Structure 1
Amino acid sequence: MNIVVIGKSGQVAWELSQLNCSDVQINCLGRDNVDIFDIDGLLDAFGTADGVINASAYTAVDLAESESEEVFKVNSAGVKNIALACKSLSIPLVHISTDFVFDGDKGYPYLVDDAVSPIGVYGASKAEGESELFGILNDNGCVIRTSWVYSSHGNNFVKTMLRLMAEKPALGVVGDQIGSPTYAGDLAKACVFALQNKLSGIYHWTDDGIASWYDFAISIQELGIEKGLLDNAIPINAIRTEDYPTPAKRPSYSVLDKTLTKEVFTDLPLVHWRKQLSRMLDKLAKQSK
Structure 2
Amino acid sequence: MADLALLVSGGRGQLGSDLAARASGYVHAPGSAELDVTDPAAVADAVDALVAAARAEGLPPVVVNAAAYAAVDAAEENEERAFAVNAQGPWHLACACLRAGVPLVHVSTDYVFSGDTDRPYRTDDSPGPRSVYGRSKLAGERAVHVVAEYGARAWVVRTAWLYGPSGGNFVKTMARLERERDKLSVVDDQTGSPTYTADLADGLLALAARVVGPDAPAQRLLHATGGGSTTWYGFARAVFEELGADPDRVRPCTTAEFPRPAPRPAYSVLSDDAWREAGLPPLRHWRDALAAAFADHGPALRG
TM bucket, shorter chain? over 0.9
2:46 is equivalent to residue 35 of structure 1:
no
Whole-angstrom CA distance in 1 between matches of 2:26 and 2:135:
33
Whole-angstrom CA distance in 1 between matches of 2:127 and 2:247:
40
Whole-angstrom CA distance in 2 between matches of 1:131 and 1:285:
38
Structure 1 residue 283, shift from structure 2 partner: 2.4
Residue 119 of structure 2: which of 108, 115, 135 is its match? 108
2:273 is equivalent to residue 259 of structure 1:
yes
**Residue of structure 2 in register with 1:224 after alignment:** 243
2:238–2:247: 8 Å Cα contact kept in structure 1? no
Residue 193 of structure 2: which of 151, 176, 180 is its match? 180
Name which of structure 1's ranges 12-21 and 127-136 shifts more when overlaid on structure 2: 12-21
Alignment of 1:237-276 (within 5 A): 237-266=251-280, 268-276=281-289
CA RMSD of aligned residues (A): 1.7
Question: How many aligned residue pairs are there?
Answer: 281
Structure 1 residue 35, shift from structure 2 partner: 2.5
Partner deviation per Cα, 1:48-91 (whole Å, 9 max, x = no partner): 34110000000000111111111111111111111111111011
SS of equivalent residue, structure 2 residue 105: strand
Whole-angstrom CA distance in 2 between matches of 1:269 and 1:125:
27
Whole-angstrom CA distance in 2 between matches of 1:286 and 1:104:
34
Residue 197 of structure 1: which of 210, 227, 246 is its match? 210
The structure-2 alpha-carbon separation of the partners of 1:111 and 1:283, relative to structure 1 and needing over 3 Å to count, comes to same
Residue 157 of structure 2: which of 133, 140, 144 is its match? 144
1:209–1:272: 8 Å Cα contact kept in structure 2? yes
Whole-angstrom CA distance in 2 between matches of 1:196 and 1:221:
37
**Residue of structure 2 in register with 1:65 after alignment:** 76
2:6 is equivalent to residue 3 of structure 1:
yes
SS of equivalent residue, structure 2 residue 73: helix
SS of equivalent residue, structure 1 residue 61: coil
SS of equivalent residue, structure 1 residue 137: helix
5+ long unaligned stretches in structure 1: none
SS of equivalent residue, structure 2 residue 239: helix
2:169 is equivalent to residue 129 of structure 1:
no
Structure 1 residue 41, shift from structure 2 partner: 2.2
Structure 1 residue 20, shift from structure 2 partner: 5.1
Whole-angstrom CA distance in 2 between matches of 1:233 and 1:214:
10
SS of equivalent residue, structure 2 residue 29: strand
Whole-angstrom CA distance in 2 between matches of 1:265 and 1:109:
19
Structure 1 runs (4+) deviating above 4 angstroms are 286-289
Whole-angstrom CA distance in 1 between matches of 2:11 and 2:64:
11
Structure 1 residue 44, shift from structure 2 partner: 1.9
1:120–1:248: 8 Å Cα contact kept in structure 2? yes
2:156–2:221: 8 Å Cα contact kept in structure 1? yes
Q: TM-score when scaled to structure 2?
A: 0.88
Structure 1 residue 130, shift from structure 2 partner: 0.3
Whole-angstrom CA distance in 2 between matches of 1:183 and 1:123:
21
Q: TM-score when scaled to structure 1?
A: 0.92
Whole-angstrom CA distance in 1 between matches of 2:163 and 2:298:
15
Instruction: Percent identity, please.
Output: 37
SS of equivalent residue, structure 1 residue 2: strand
Whole-angstrom CA distance in 2 between matches of 1:269 and 1:131:
25
Name which of structure 1's ranges 193-202 and 149-158 shifts more when overlaid on structure 2: 193-202
**Residue of structure 1 in register with 2:17 after alignment:** 14
2:200–2:283: 8 Å Cα contact kept in structure 1? no
**Residue of structure 1 in register with 2:214 after alignment:** none
